[in-house]
Chains A and B, each alone.
Chain A
Amino acid sequence: MTDPGPPAQAPAAGRAVRLVEAVGRSVKDRLANARQTIAFAGGMAALLGEGSRWLWRGLFVPGIKFRRQAAAAQMVRVGVRSIPIILLVQVFIGIILALQMAPTLTDYGQLERVADVVGIAVFRELGPLISAIVLSGFAGASIAAELGTMVEGEEIKALRAHALNPVQFLVVPRVLATVLMLTGLTVIADLVGTFGGFLTSVLVLDIDPRVYIDYTQAALKNRDFLTGLVKAAVFGMLISLIACREGLTVTGGAEGVGRATTQTVVKSIVALIGTDCLFTATFYVFGW
């Protein structure tokens, strides 16, 4: 006969140890995640601070060159080349909105109000947000991949060795171009999205074109347009800063570059939607 005491106690003690280990591991993982998040936010803030300093110095301090040509080249790359895809996506958004809202508004006998819904949704939210999401995949990933490849090819090191600051030389033109071009693209997106809703309403929902235009004009205020543009500028800054930071901190060769591009898109989308939520809550509270 075996003693029943010790075997019963041993599994209990083992379970307790495993439980403590599991809790410890979980706490350690969460602390590591928190540390990474804080480090990322700190890195972004530092990049923003250094970028702002170089922009200021470039514009106002004699002897320090502001890289106009580089900024213009980035504007073409970030903005002009993404116009076709923004046009396509925003037309679809206008069509989807009109078709989704039509049945509900018909129930209330307010089909013409499709114009209000499409106009406000596109100008305040979907114009800047969808354009920013498209740009995070189109330009953000490309910036991260480009800078990451430059890090791996020792080009960033070469810049520093030639007494050239990578933030001044690479980050400022990209951030400036993305902010300006996303703001401009949002204006186009607003117009095209509204046009998509207009086309659907006229051709599919049989709303009189004049009525649609009148309702849109009556529904939209200047602040709807301006809040959208403010969002677009902030979104542009977020996408470009995330892309630049991810690109400049690449390690691990081609795999690292691939990781940076994926991280740029994922982090950009999370940051864009989170920031949009903050904006919307703020505008709601202040009645803007």
Chain B
Amino acid sequence: MTGIEPTSPTVEGRNDVVISVRDLVKRFRSPAGAWVTVLDGVSFDVYRGETVVLMGGSGCGKSTLLNCLIGEYAPEGGQILFKTRDMARPADIVGMDEDQLNAIRRRFGILFQSGALFNSMTVAENIALPLLEHSDVDPSIVDIVVTLKLEQVKMLEHRDKMPAKLSGGQKKRAGLARATALDPEILFYDEPSAGLDPVTSAAIDELMMDLSKKLNVTSVVVTHEMDSAFRIADRMVMLHQGHILQIGSRTEFEMLRDTPIEDLKTSEDKLMNQFLNGHTEGPLTDAEGMSEFEKLIVAG
């Protein structure tokens, strides 16, 4: 294990790093049998209490990065260091055994794209599960905590419903209540706005910001919904071809978005501008602008 150094290119001189990703490499085998590098030397830091949005085009590696952060994928190289308040030293989850990894996992919550509620349980049972499994609290206390968590996400009237009876937005709210059940210090969000109408999407964004403030959690959000990203982000990370193209504050990204493309000098800035504005033509959609993984996705 190594100490975390505040080496972010955009935020200098801070020592309140919660997650530090260093030179992360992740490869997959393609159907043809060749190795495809999806993440190639990715490094960035996440600081206490902030909301960092990871974004990029389809196949850029953002979901792979999230899966590495939550210990779902084992990277081929690099480090993923966690340092929560109760930890004396940062812990590198790369190469950890399952028991050690689970000890780290108990410190964070995750909202999955589909909500990922357990369909065989009611909403209340879904939220109670982490509490019952990872604590020795009395079931009556668990019931009180479940009620509080459901109130936070305005889902109290749905506590005894099965997940199949909920709408997409309600599933995400319930998923968020479950993610916060153990009062985590870090929350990961995988495409929280995907598949939702604009009003519900905005409501989920407000809920996320509200929870961040109330619970003082650090949030890492993977999304390619630009409206949502600009609403919730403190800082933004743009991934492209398995590399980090740009890390910056929301204001910096807004400037890149709003500057006419012909006034931008570097190819990276032009690429960012195309992505942030959702233009169909530009350097991002040129064949050279696509990674091997992106080309595989485009080719089906």
Contacts and interface: CB of A to CB of B under 8 A. Distances in A.
B72 A162 contact: no
A275 B289 CA distance: 55
Interface string B129-158: 110011000000000000000000000000
B118 interface: yes
Interface stretch (B51-59, B108-116, B197-205, B210-218): B108-116
B140 to A, nearest CB: 18
Given A161-B105, A162-B105, A162-B129, A154 B72 contact: no
A163 B106 contact: yes
A163 B134 CA distance: 9
A154 B114 contact: yes
A65 B112 contact: no
Interface residues of B, number: 22
B268 interface: no
Contacts of B105: 160-163
B30 interface: no
Given A65-B133, A163-B134, A165-B98, A158 B110 contact: yes
A148 to B, nearest CB: 13
A53 to B, nearest CB: 11
Interface string B77-111: 00000000000000000000010011101100010
A208 interface: no
A96 to B, nearest CB: 39
B133 A155 contact: no
A153 B121 CA distance: 14
Contacts of A162: 105, 129-130, 133-134, 178
Contacts, number: 52
A157 interface: yes
A20 interface: no
A272 B44 CA distance: 53
A156 to B, nearest CB: 9
With most chain B CB atoms within 10 A of its CB, the pick from A153, A158, A164 is A158
B97 to A, nearest CB: 12
Contacts of B106: 163
Contact of B112 (A157, A163, A165): A157
Nearest to A168: B133
A190 B103 CA distance: 49
Contact of A153 (B72, B110, B114, B134): B114
Contact of A160 (B72, B118, B134): B72
Contacts of B103: 163
B119 A155 contact: yes
A65 to B, nearest CB: 7
Interface string A133-166: 0000000000000000110011101111111110
A153 B114 CA distance: 7
B133 A154 contact: no
B102 A154 contact: no
B70 interface: yes
A146 to B, nearest CB: 8
A157 B116 contact: yes
Contact of A161 (B72, B113, B114): B72
A157 B98 contact: no
Contacts of A157: 72, 112, 116
Contacts of B101: 163
Contacts of A161: 70-72, 105, 110, 112
A154 B112 contact: yes
A155 B102 contact: no
Interface of B: 70-72, 98, 101-103, 105-106, 110, 112-114, 116-119, 129-130, 133-134, 178
Interface of A: 65, 149-150, 153-155, 157-165
Given A65-B133, A161-B70, 14 more contacts: A149-B119, A150-B119, A153-B114, A157-B72, A157-B112, A158-B117, A161-B71, A161-B105, A161-B110, A162-B105, A162-B129, A163-B130, A163-B134, A164-B133
For the complex of A and B, the 7 pairs showing the least CB-CB separation, nearest first, are A163-B102, A158-B116, A154-B116, A163-B105, A161-B110, A154-B112, A162-B130
